Chains A and B, each alone.
Chain A
Amino acid sequence: MENEFLKNQFNITRRHFFGKAAAGIGGLALGSLLVPDLWKGDGTDPAGSLPLGMAHYAPKAKRIIYLCQNGAPSQYESFDYKPMLNQRAGEDLPASIRGNQRLTGMTANQEKFPLVGSFYGFKQYGQSGTYISDIFPNIGSIADDICVIRTMSTDAINHDPALTFLQTGAQVGNRPSMGAWMSYGLGSENKNLPAFCVLLSRGRGNGQGVYSKLWTNGFLDSTHQGVVFSSSEDPILYLNDSDGIDKQARRRMLDELAELNQLGFQENGDPEVEAKVQQYEMAYRMQTAVPELTDLSKEPDHIIKMYGPDCLVPGTYAANALLARKLSESGVRFVQLYHQGWDSHGNLPKEMAMQAQDVDRSSAALITDLKQRGLLDETLVIWGGEFGRTNYCQGTFTVDTYGRDHHPRAYSIFMAGGGVKAGSVYGETDEFGYNVIKDPVHIHDFHATVQHLMGLNHEQLTYKHLGRRYRLTDVSGKVLPGLLA
């Protein structure tokens, strides 16, 4: 009799999750963490017939690792080779090229806009012959695995709105970030880990800070919030038990706790009690699973060699790149890295070289590592910043030093794996690198394409909030077939 009662209660728990859908369909994804097959019910939106937790069509990629270079690395010293700028260095940017482009408050009052070419040389790499600058030799060595996009364009010209736009599809407002949307749309592959993890590092160049708004769940359920992994002793906040409490002690406590809660449930009949017990059990599993995963010390020598010695220094970009591979390999849907320090308004040649030194080897290693494990096909790796930099100099211009201001119209990023066309270059800018002349990739298009690779239709993955169906791509964006393998 009692068993039957409990069984009935459990069904109610399931129904309760569905019942909560009106408050936030997000509740469903939480449900999926607890009951892996919960989706296979009928969790659909009558208006749009959207099953959540499964792709709209066969995905190319199952997981994303987003290596966000925040601060905006210069395209002229990385992936957009413009020798003409070296030839015409010091000449003023022609008004016809600049057009009506808005400038930031930092250079708007400059009297002149002297063109400046790359301090570094470029080489062609691989079968594809992709031009890549000399400060990124390792990325050069995997040129045939990546797809360089030279024609990214964004609406914002300052860091905060541009990063917010890149991550949430809107410059202002508390909208869910890309990772939160993926978590919401596809759920988690690993019931012991969050679907959306965030790793932070800081380089040696001029930095701009990051903010939790970039990995916010916005109006989605807070279970879709990015969980920040830290390089401190607690890889996830509050994960480790206090000194003096070992694994057995924790288990004893949880067993008694479950019994006490069960007593409560018998009296109050509230299905949330059962859900609570499940959450404690998941926390307990995370306590074992996460430290095992974040322990990089057991990685074999050849892996350490590949990522470089920095990967053993917690909190570095290299360590985060390696950790990203481990998290992704374990089924984390979306691993988001942020590496600060690319905002080279002055002293660019020196700063950018240091930044490149920090990320070049391990970024390439990550892609090679995934490839060797047979995971690159199903993992989409994205590398790039929130906008580009100007082709003219900001501030003092000498032979060996210059700066570049923000430029939103055209900039470069690259992607690899997960269904993108390897060994290719997409889009073309004019000889000044200032304007897109072929195949623009607006942020909305980029989002639409990334969601497409994950098997999601960007127009269908919506969430109704305060009367409106929101989506990552707001009201525009198109999938760009030219980027797809």
Chain B
Amino acid sequence: MRYLKIFVPIAFLACMLYVAWSCSDAQASDTSMPDVVDYNFHIRPILSDRCFKCHGPDANKRQANLRLDTPEGAFAAFKDNTKAHAIVPGDPYASDAFTRLITKDTSERMPPMKSNLTLSQHEIDLIEKWIEQGANYKPHWAFIKPLKSELPEADADWARNEIDYFVYEKMAEKGLKPSKESDKERLLKRVCLDLIGLPPTLEMQDRFLKDTSPNAYEKIVNELLANPHYGEKMATPWLDVARYADSHGYQDDGLRTMWPWRDWVIHAFNANYSYAKFVKWQLAGDLIPGANKEMLLATGFNRNHKITQEGGVIDEEYRVEYVNDRTSTFGKAFLALTFECSKCHDHKYDPISQKDYYSTFAFFNQVPEKGLFGTIDASFADPPNMRITTQDVKKLLNFINKRDTSAVDVMVMKDSVNMRKAYVLTRGNYDMHGAEVGVGIPKSILPYSQQKYGGDRLGLANWLVDDANPLTSRVFVNRIWAQFFGRGLVKTLGDFGMQGELPTHPKLLDWLAVDFKAHHWNIKRLVKQIVLSATYRQSSDVPAAALKSDPENIYLSHSSRMRIPAEQVRDHVLASAEILNEEIGGPSVKPYQPKGIWEIASSGRGSLMNYIQDHNQDLYRRGMYVFIKRTVPPPSMLIFDASNRDQCEVQRGRTNTPLQALVMMNDPHVMESSRVLASHLSKENGKLESVLEKAFRKIICRKPKAKEIEILTRYFEKEQANFKNNPAKMDKLMKIGEYKKDPGAIRAYTAALMQTIQLIFNMEEALIRV
């Protein structure tokens, strides 16, 4: 019930107030004043952003001995003037913290001039009213255990499942209405791209269009969830979280063989491991009693960080760096907290002290590893590691795509027999030991009890999936939500702390988080719940009213059009042309890449000095299998905002740049795919219109409109005439790519068709999840 008390006032006020928290970076233009000012939603974002740096949790940097992040601190009498208080509940003008905001004396005014921070009049008014109303502090919303609230009222004709009730309520508050359901063609494209990362085939399109049964859509969803490409699609964001790559990083950047771990991630999603198991095995599979090789393999998660091979470094410095990486990855990946901010000092905003940081660090500090195992080519998998043999792959590890009989080594986690002591490292320096610390976790999240959970990583994993943990489920549910809607219910996927954004739909987030746990952390179930909702199925046409009042579509009055992720750009092109190699897993591949980009950046050492391109079927693997050399990541991926896998990343950008246009116009993969598709289609000897329609449907995944066919036909004819006059140009064009050429296909018809397909690939809608 406590939960309701917190959120009920918000429910009917949110209408006017969202700007105060959703636009902390942008213009806070909404200056309406709530009847009841809420600490979590109105005041803390201001205090945290402008005040806590000097008057917050960091004891070492606290100015004037004043802390404003706790009521005890804010209400206490000043030491040097016991009659004065920073905040006097009910009386803003007796509250120093308020009067110093409004004083005309710039030497007195807060925040100080030199901080470059200011408060708007509206923010000052909010603080005044909050103090007037009693200056009620509340715990940070994300640290309170989520509870399910009752479903709000909604249009029952529209709502399909619980999600819709919560979404409808918010929409109604904003004066928005849900959009109609998307047409079948676009809905199919959307759900295919979202669930397997590939466009629907023509067969599937036809089947779905014909199927008029009421559960036609659900049948498709079930089919896709059972499709092994589902695991690939779901794994890709996790590879960003886990900073997976095929090289060690740092300057010499030699080869590493972590790909069997990547195969495991795909397998885990396909086999629908519960999130609890998924997390537990990755964090502590090695410590589970009777751990098998699969559990051990899963722990590769914590060895995916970069490893130096630079002779001359100090071993301990880098060993500590790896432990730091694991610690901050743990914070960001599972808790959406910026642990790394506490490496050198107490956190400026969140209740994570430097001591807390090194207590969590201590869990990851027990690995028998070296900072510098050896220079380049010393090892593809520094110890501790695990050998995977052909025998293993025949049995327990049958999901690994090991292509030959040679064994492959993978880095895994292990704890030393003797506990390595951990210390607070002064200013984060590896060799400046401060006080010794034991294992632990910041207590404001959920107190850590060694007796209850244990004193090693397995204990940490148990703590993480404890039902009482307020963050784990919320953070994951939010990330999955963002995958399907383009924006999290908490927009800052990686920061649920004080400086993060507040949830736009707090009740929905909590309902989903609780529901997810109650159903044994079942990921496929959560995904299905989302894609079956009416919210998800809405048309993505942008209603004029929504564009005006909700340009970011925070309130989900329509589906969001989103450019597909980098890997899928490649997948979409290859799949539409039917040259995609659908093989799952295995060593990463090296497809076409502009010449010389590895060579010019290389130190001249190691097996990755030169880019040796693959051939045949390996050229047509999915984007997620393209070899990632960290110091020179695949350029076409970076251009489409892929992660460079330098460190844990939970949120990619989504830009729209001229370099993307250049890739789509000139990347040989796109050209080759157009060529092959044109060759295939030209052999069918169909009417031009139906050939163009077929190509269009393969790429755009809907039937073209008459006007579109008209433009395509016009373009085709111009190009055909052109090629007839310039056969030399045609010959050059038809040579692009290694895919076998069809000698009979070199004619102006095919070349013009190839160009027309290129045009379709470059349409804005082609790469959009509609």
A interface, CB within 8 angstroms of B: 12, 15-16, 18-25, 30, 42, 44-50, 102, 104-106, 158-160, 172-174, 200-202, 207-213, 216, 221-223, 225, 227-228, 230-232, 234, 236-246, 249-250, 252-253, 256-257, 259-261, 263-264, 267-273, 275-277, 279-280, 282-283, 286-287, 315, 340, 405-406, 459-460, 462, 464, 466-468
A340 to B547, CA, bound (A): 51
Other-chain contact of B313, A158, A213, A257 (Cβ < 8 Å)? A158
Candidate in A241, A244, A272 with the most chain B CB atoms within 10 angstroms = A244
Is B448 part of the binding interface, using a Cβ–Cβ cutoff of 8 Å?
A: no
A46-B28, A227-B659 in contact; A249/B722 too (CB < 8 A)? Answer: yes
Other-chain contact of B600, A30, A202, A264, A275 (Cβ < 8 Å)? A202
Candidate in A22, A209, A239, A269 with the most chain B CB atoms within 10 angstroms = A209
The digit string for B697-719, where 1 denotes a CB below 8 A from any CB of A, is 00000000101100110110011
Is B354 part of the binding interface, using a Cβ–Cβ cutoff of 8 Å?
A: no
Q: Given the complex, which residues of A lie within 8 Å of B452, measured CB to CB?
A: none
Inter-subunit contact B658/A261 (CB<8 Å): no
Shortest Cβ-Cβ A-B pairs, 8 listed: A467-B499, A209-B603, A244-B733, A211-B631, A244-B732, A243-B732, A104-B312, A283-B661
Other-chain contact of A212, B543, B632, B715, B733 (Cβ < 8 Å)? B632
Nearest-Cβ distance from residue B714 to partner chain A, whole angstroms: 7
A124 to B635, CA, bound (A): 47
What are 29 residue pairs bridging A and B, where the CB atoms are less than 8 Å apart in the complex? Answer: A12-B548, A21-B25, A22-B24, A22-B491, A30-B657, A46-B118, A47-B49, A49-B118, A104-B313, A105-B312, A106-B312, A160-B251, A211-B601, A212-B644, A227-B659, A230-B597, A230-B600, A244-B734, A245-B733, A256-B712, A263-B707, A269-B542, A273-B764, A279-B660, A280-B658, A464-B24, A464-B25, A467-B341, A467-B350
Inter-subunit contact B631/A234 (CB<8 Å): no
Inter-subunit contact B251/A232 (CB<8 Å): no
Q: Given the complex, which residues of B lie within 8 Å of A221, measured CB to CB?
A: 653, 655
Nearest-Cβ distance from residue B487 to partner chain A, whole angstroms: 9
Inter-subunit contact A282/B714 (CB<8 Å): no
Is B595 part of the binding interface, using a Cβ–Cβ cutoff of 8 Å?
A: yes
Nearest-Cβ distance from residue A186 to partner chain B, whole angstroms: 18
Is B194 part of the binding interface, using a Cβ–Cβ cutoff of 8 Å?
A: no
**Which residue of chain A has its CB nearest to the CB of B663?**
A238
Q: Given the complex, which residues of B lie within 8 Å of A24, measured CB to CB?
A: 653
A369 to B631, CA, bound (A): 34
Is B372 part of the binding interface, using a Cβ–Cβ cutoff of 8 Å?
A: yes
The digit string for B543-584, where 1 denotes a CB below 8 A from any CB of A, is 110011001100000000101000000000000000000000
A221 to B250, CA, bound (A): 23
Candidate in A272, A405, A462 with the most chain B CB atoms within 10 angstroms = A272
Inter-subunit contact A22/B25 (CB<8 Å): yes
Candidate in B314, B653, B718 with the most chain A CB atoms within 10 angstroms = B653
Inter-subunit contact A12/B551 (CB<8 Å): yes
Inter-subunit contact A212/B547 (CB<8 Å): no
17 more contacts with CB within 8 A, not counting A267-B541, A269-B542, A272-B764, are A19-B552, A23-B653, A30-B656, A105-B313, A207-B604, A209-B252, A212-B633, A231-B596, A237-B639, A240-B666, A260-B711, A275-B656, A279-B657, A279-B658, A466-B338, A467-B350, A467-B500
A362 to B735, CA, bound (A): 41
Nearest-Cβ distance from residue B572 to partner chain A, whole angstroms: 16
Is B377 part of the binding interface, using a Cβ–Cβ cutoff of 8 Å?
A: no
Q: Given the complex, which residues of A lie within 8 Å of B311, measured CB to CB?
A: 105-106
Other-chain contact of B498, A42, A49, A406, A467 (Cβ < 8 Å)? A467
A418 to B759, CA, bound (A): 46
Q: Given the complex, which residues of B lie within 8 Å of A44, measured CB to CB?
A: 27
A46 to B731, CA, bound (A): 59
Inter-subunit contact B597/A244 (CB<8 Å): no
**Which residue of chain B has its CB nearest to the CB of A225?**
B638
**Which residue of chain B has its CB nearest to the CB of A44?**
B27
Is B492 part of the binding interface, using a Cβ–Cβ cutoff of 8 Å?
A: yes
A466 to B253, CA, bound (A): 28
Inter-subunit contact B763/A268 (CB<8 Å): no
A249-B722, A275-B656, A459-B116 in contact; A280/B661 too (CB < 8 A)? Answer: yes
A159-B251, A232-B596, A238-B666 in contact; A48/B764 too (CB < 8 A)? Answer: no
A160-B250, A209-B253 in contact; A48/B763 too (CB < 8 A)? Answer: no
Candidate in B117, B349, B765 with the most chain A CB atoms within 10 angstroms = B765
Inter-subunit contact B601/A222 (CB<8 Å): no
Nearest-Cβ distance from residue B173 to partner chain A, whole angstroms: 20
A209-B251, A253-B715, A279-B660 in contact; A22/B26 too (CB < 8 A)? Answer: yes
Q: Given the complex, which residues of B lie within 8 Å of A464, measured CB to CB?
A: 24-25, 499
Nearest-Cβ distance from residue A185 to partner chain B, whole angstroms: 14
Is B621 part of the binding interface, using a Cβ–Cβ cutoff of 8 Å?
A: no
Nearest-Cβ distance from residue A299 to partner chain B, whole angstroms: 23
A216 to B644, CA, bound (A): 9
Nearest-Cβ distance from residue A55 to partner chain B, whole angstroms: 15
Is B160 part of the binding interface, using a Cβ–Cβ cutoff of 8 Å?
A: no
Q: Given the complex, which residues of B lie within 8 Å of A49, measured CB to CB?
A: 116, 118
A464 to B494, CA, bound (A): 13
Inter-subunit contact A158/B764 (CB<8 Å): no
**Which residue of chain B has its CB nearest to the CB of A259?**
B711
A20 to B553, CA, bound (A): 11
A22-B22, A105-B314, A209-B602 in contact; A239/B662 too (CB < 8 A)? Answer: yes
**Which residue of chain A has its CB nearest to the CB of B431?**
A102
The digit string for B347-370, where 1 denotes a CB below 8 A from any CB of A, is 011100000000000000000000
Q: By DSSP majority rule, is chain B's interface helix, strand, loop, or mixed?
A: loop
Inter-subunit contact A174/B312 (CB<8 Å): no
Other-chain contact of B27, A46, A259, A467 (Cβ < 8 Å)? A46
Inter-subunit contact A279/B656 (CB<8 Å): yes
Nearest-Cβ distance from residue A184 to partner chain B, whole angstroms: 13
A314 to B521, CA, bound (A): 57
**Which residue of chain A has its CB nearest to the CB of B562?**
A272
A253 to B646, CA, bound (A): 38
Nearest-Cβ distance from residue B457 to partner chain A, whole angstroms: 23
Inter-subunit contact B25/A45 (CB<8 Å): yes
Nearest-Cβ distance from residue B473 to partner chain A, whole angstroms: 21
Inter-subunit contact B759/A253 (CB<8 Å): yes
A340 to B668, CA, bound (A): 31
Is B50 part of the binding interface, using a Cβ–Cβ cutoff of 8 Å?
A: yes
Is B610 part of the binding interface, using a Cβ–Cβ cutoff of 8 Å?
A: no
A46-B27, A209-B253, A222-B641 in contact; A244/B729 too (CB < 8 A)? Answer: yes
A256 to B709, CA, bound (A): 12
Nearest-Cβ distance from residue B758 to partner chain A, whole angstroms: 7
Nearest-Cβ distance from residue A445 to partner chain B, whole angstroms: 18
Is B99 part of the binding interface, using a Cβ–Cβ cutoff of 8 Å?
A: no
Q: Given the complex, which residues of A lie within 8 Å of B548, measured CB to CB?
A: 12
Inter-subunit contact B312/A232 (CB<8 Å): no
Q: Given the complex, which residues of B lie within 8 Å of A277, measured CB to CB?
A: 764
A289 to B200, CA, bound (A): 40
A44 to B120, CA, bound (A): 12
Nearest-Cβ distance from residue B393 to partner chain A, whole angstroms: 34
Inter-subunit contact A468/B762 (CB<8 Å): no
Is B220 part of the binding interface, using a Cβ–Cβ cutoff of 8 Å?
A: no
A42 to B634, CA, bound (A): 37
Inter-subunit contact A466/B495 (CB<8 Å): yes
The digit string for B588-600, where 1 denotes a CB below 8 A from any CB of A, is 0000001111001
Other-chain contact of A242, B498, B543, B666 (Cβ < 8 Å)? B666
Q: Which of B640-671 contact A (CB under 8 A)?
A: 641, 644, 646-647, 649, 653, 655-663, 665-668, 671
Is B23 part of the binding interface, using a Cβ–Cβ cutoff of 8 Å?
A: yes
A47-B50, A104-B313, A280-B658 in contact; A468/B348 too (CB < 8 A)? Answer: yes
A22-B26, A48-B117 in contact; A16/B551 too (CB < 8 A)? Answer: yes
**Which residue of chain A has its CB nearest to the CB of B600?**
A200
Nearest-Cβ distance from residue A471 to partner chain B, whole angstroms: 10
Inter-subunit contact A22/B23 (CB<8 Å): yes
Nearest-Cβ distance from residue B343 to partner chain A, whole angstroms: 10
Inter-subunit contact A270/B542 (CB<8 Å): yes
**Which residue of chain B has its CB nearest to the CB of A265?**
B764
